[in-house]
Structure 1
């Protein structure tokens, strides 16, 4: 067992630099604040519209810590996504493809207690924009984002009632660059802003089941995340530059500044949901999330008067169906079929337009290898933004895949 722990920690350490270094976005809206939302749940969650209220004995639900108390086997899971995005305006369009690491997580059961830890992204920044006016040309570039290392625990104090909590440590760096070419000015000017961000937030969750009959179960869920302040250490470089033949930037004069450290405020979140289902057969649920307005105004180099951060919300409807989970002959009947839809008001208003999302998703849970080891595959189409007021609409097709491995680690010895 000790060897297994060493292996899991080694994998987390190996994955951490990849999570930190990746540019998990190509969205122009990641220019604003700390970037776009990077974690949307496990593949199982996302295939059901992002629904975070269902738990079972072999899958990890990273959205509600109370779900850890349902684990009966040690679970290890990792997920990734391939994204194809069409960026569309009123006059033209472009296509971008990119790949992201989504999460790496471990869950361990101990009687009525379950614990878990892992790594997942919080936000992602990755954009290249250009603005042209008669007097100047402005180029904007950004990369980076925040990652989260978390520890969760869930337990069952009363029959059918599970409670849980999570401690998150967020960390990461964001680099924003602006290059301006002015008419009748010999050298372009360049501004580089480096933001190093870290801090804690905390979550709590609950799940409750009510047996309506021998076959039907009503499930209720609730989640809460604190609105926490994160520390921001900043550095700024101002320079005049020349552009080389290979489009490289050659510094002519440079000044480095160290603005005062500051803070940003993550939004407070609460969510609740209701669902109905038959154990190991089918389930359908509806969940509502609400976020207070976050405060990223201290990152004033990319948060001007045209940007308003306000209350956000999400409505999710999803579920699954299993023809026959323990069929001894038919592989097809043991497949889990998932589907869902979602509508999200992101809380971002830019140039007077609300930047919202609508998505539809489908997925399958495929038994693989041993009885309780499986692969989960999903696909989602969703839209973000609008072409109104000279803005950009993003049309995503995301294909996501995860593998879940299960084993029983803690077995009491029957012999001395």
Structure 2
């Protein structure tokens, strides 16, 4: 007869088909037993919903508390608000990478784990069809990210002898977003824009059960792979008033709405030893389970004050009603069949200040022409494990270095923050993120004159 040890039996042995509430308790307990070294994993909170939401505006807004809704620029293409794509005068391209280290602390076991993960940032191509009037942008960027690992050591009784084992849960994947749209300027003050956004991606939850070296006990693996795809749209507007206090100042107020949508999904489950796994059949005998996942409306408002090219201040607020989330496929924190719903509305407020000492003076030194940025944000996450809200606070900052080429800048950014706490069943993440981004722009489609 086989029985579980007392601590694990309280919460049941996890599997990919278990209820999300049991998975939560397992993951919380496992933080303390997680390996003390570094690995390529991030926050354990990314198991909730469709993963950790990723904010992507521009490398400029990333350093300003991710406040991007009303952030106008002649150098950067702001992916958050398609209305501002009409500001383009140069054909532009940007690419970057980030490296994030997350230190997780579990108050239940006083354990600590450290994870480090690298990622590519958004890619975009912006084309001014009519300079400063009509702009086209195509962008590829992450929408959400699933990236966690948890492990717990325990034992069970086999024929009267206690056998130790390690139970691992690993999550990977997320959703990507491919966007294309136009921004247009109406008169001198009003800008409107719209984009079509394709969401697609794969999430994988892998469970590995490993026994200590002993003949007759092989590692077993059970994997749940979910593929999602769908289309949504984004609408944006901005209004700018000039010369309010000085000749070269401007005040911009903007709003963005991302339409709710339903993603089509399919899920497969495999079970076996090591890499040799068989696909499990669903109740109707098929190899995959089909379902729908609803994504709620997203709303953002922002304001930016610009004083020439010397300094600017920006502020943003966003809202996503994830408390109304519905899915026929169980996901982290939500299972309609069991009545489990640990998802909450997501709120976010951020802002920052940028200073460029030289302003428009191109003859100044590089350090004077560089832009220095600092900001911060606060966010209530879209999840509430065991009814406890998870809040994130972070400081952001960095520097943007000019290049000899017109419209080219090299951006270096840092983000330092905390997420959650060690109270109750929560885990506290302390994260440090560094970003490197190249922004490049030049004039295309120039009509040549011949005398």
Instruction: Check 1:25–1:222 CA distance in 2 against 1; reply closer, same or farther (3 A cut).
Output: farther
State which of 206, 211, 227 in structure 1 corresponds to 2:237. 206
Deviation at 1:28, TM superposition (A): 1.0
Q: When the two structures are superposed, what TM-score results if normalisation uses the length of structure 1? A: 0.85
Change beyond 3 A, Cα 1:355–1:296: farther
Given that 1:126 and 1:143 are in contact with CA atoms closer than 8 Å, whether structure 2 keeps it comes out as yes
Equivalent residue, structure 1, for 2:64: 48
The whole-number CA distance in structure 1 between the counterparts of 2:60 and 2:124 is 14
> Is the CA contact (8 Å cut-off) linking 2:93 and 2:124 kept in structure 1?
yes
Superposed counterparts of 1:40-119, under 5 Å: 40-52=56-68, 53-90=70-107, 91-111=110-130, 112-119=133-140
| SS of the residue 2:383 aligns to | strand
> Which residue does the alignment assign to 1:169?
198
Q: Does the aligned pair in 1 maintain the 2:101–2:431 contact within 8 Å?
A: yes
Offset from partner CA, 1:364-388 (integer Å, 9 cap, x none):
1110231321111110101112212
Deviation, 1:346, is 1.5
Contact 1:24-1:100 at 8 Å conserved across structures:
no
The alpha-carbon deviation at position 285 of structure 1 amounts to 1.8
Q: Secondary structure at the match of 2:121?
A: strand
Instruction: Describe the SS at the equivalent of 2:390.
Output: strand
Choose between structure 1 and 2: higher strand proportion.
1
Per-residue deviation, 1:180: 5.7
CA distances 1:156-196 after superposition (whole Å, capped 9, x unpaired): 022121111111111111111234689xx988865321111
Aligned to 2:344: 310
For each residue in 1:323-342, what CA deviation from the matched residue of structure 2 results, as whole angstroms up to 9, or x when unmatched? 11324032211111111110
Provide the secondary structure at the position in 2 that maps to 1:351. helix
Q: 2: distance between equivalents of 1:107 and 1:381?
A: 30
Q: Which runs of 5+ in 1 are unaligned?
A: 1-22, 242-247
CA offsets per residue over residues 334-356 of structure 1, 9 Å max, x none? Answer: 11111111001112111221122
Number of aligned pairs?
384
> Matched residues in 2 for 1:71 and 1:409: separation?
12
Question: Partners of 1:80 and 1:233 in 2: how far apart?
Answer: 30
Unaligned runs of 5+ in 2: 1-38, 157-164
Q: Give, in whole Å, the separation in 1 of the partners of 2:329 and 2:365.
A: 56
Q: Distance in 2 between matches of 1:316 and 1:216?
A: 22
Q: Secondary structure at the match of 1:201?
A: strand
Distance in structure 2 (CA, Å) of the matches to 1:166 and 1:400: 26
Give yes or no for contact 2:42–2:101 (8 Å, CA) kept in 1: no
Shift of the 313–25 alpha-carbon distance from structure 1 to 2, 3 Å rule, reads farther
| C-alpha RMSD of matched pairs (Å) | 2.5
The answer to whether the 8 A contact 1:78-1:403 is kept is yes
Rounded Cα–Cα distance in structure 1 between residues aligned with 2:58 and 2:143: 13
Map of 2:255 onto structure 1: 222
- SS of equivalent residue, structure 1 residue 30: helix
- Confirm whether residue 128 of structure 1 aligns to residue 149 of structure 2: yes
CA contact (8 A) 1:79 1:101 kept: yes
What's the offset of the Cα at 1:138?
Answer: 4.3
TM-score normalized with structure 2 length: 0.79
Q: CA deviation at 1:237?
A: 2.1
